[in-house]
Structure 1
């Protein structure tokens, strides 16, 4: 199956698609899931607001909207990410943009894995899972860098 990255009304973020794909697969595997068809669509605030209004009847900006097409243990979905809101969130939370982008990317996958963030205690659980996933990415990047140095 495949993980695809698209851009609509914005420039595709500068991410290493192969490494991000491997990371996403690893996180899904940790949660007992397999990857089906996943599409990331990076877009503007205006586009995500349009999607939020049209499909969810919400009249506000957000960083990510996840359309879940998961069947049994195979996660699939369309994940719309507003680059504008990711940048705003990075500034608001005083976090590096790249870290906020990766947090948002994995947030959608965690939703597809069945983790919610709306009920009591769920936001804290989601944040803990995001943090674990971000550590995985960081460790994988460190390992790749060390392998390059050793070889």
Structure 2
């Protein structure tokens, strides 16, 4: 298994050709960030939503009743790290041989790194506010969310400096500069 991106578009009207192009760019960013962080395998789920959708999640999970630009829900840390598939997992004999880690065999969720949720309208507004492309802003938010999935935070100045430097390095390598 490799590092892969799955995505959902919850916005009214859903995804179109433009979003397909975004996903190609985000898959490239995921590959770059994964290589730099030595993450060789896993699944990241990205949900594109609107301000109301992300506001509801922000209220429900962070007690902040306002929209934000990006939220991350890691399955590698905190309480959610203990979530496991409890039912017996049925597979054929040949499927059982494909598991590389016997401790994770039978756990179809073991490769999930977590979920990233991005408000597309918020990303569009911030791109205009900061004077750079929408693609750069979307990439910034995605890499930011991915680093949160891996446990990075920006609770103090040193953590913020480290996290933002890592983000900029990935974006620069992908050609998404300000």
- TM-score by length of structure 1 reads 0.79
Give, in angstroms, the shift of residue 138 of structure 1. Answer: 1.8
Bigger radius of gyration, 1 or 2? 2
Give, in angstroms, the shift of residue 124 of structure 1. Answer: 2.3
- Please name the residue that 2:129 is paired with: 92
1:1-28 alpha-carbon deviations (Å, 9 max, x no partner): 5310110024433525345324312311
Structure 1 residues 51-130: aligned runs within 5 Å: 51-70=57-76, 76-130=113-167
Instruction: Name the SS of the counterpart of 2:121 in structure 1.
Output: helix
Flag the 1:118–1:138 CA change in 2: closer, same or farther, 3 A.
same
CA distance in 2, matches of 1:24, 1:105: 8
Contact 2:29 2:171 in 1 (8 A): no
1:33-69 alpha-carbon deviations (Å, 9 max, x no partner): 2331211000000000000111221122111100001
Structure 2's unaligned 5+ residue stretches are 82-110
Structure 1's unaligned 5+ residue stretches are 140-151
Flag the 1:124–1:98 CA change in 2: closer, same or farther, 3 A.
same
CA distance in 2, matches of 1:108, 1:35: 17
- TM-score by length of structure 2 reads 0.68
CA distance in 1, matches of 2:138, 2:23: 13
CA distance in 2, matches of 1:46, 1:35: 32
RMSD of Structure 2 on Structure 1 (CA): 2.3
Flag the 1:95–1:19 CA change in 2: closer, same or farther, 3 A.
closer
Contact 1:33 1:75 in 2 (8 A): no
Contact 2:10 2:48 in 1 (8 A): yes
- Please name the residue that 1:50 is paired with: 56
Contact 1:87 1:97 in 2 (8 A): yes
More helix by share: 1
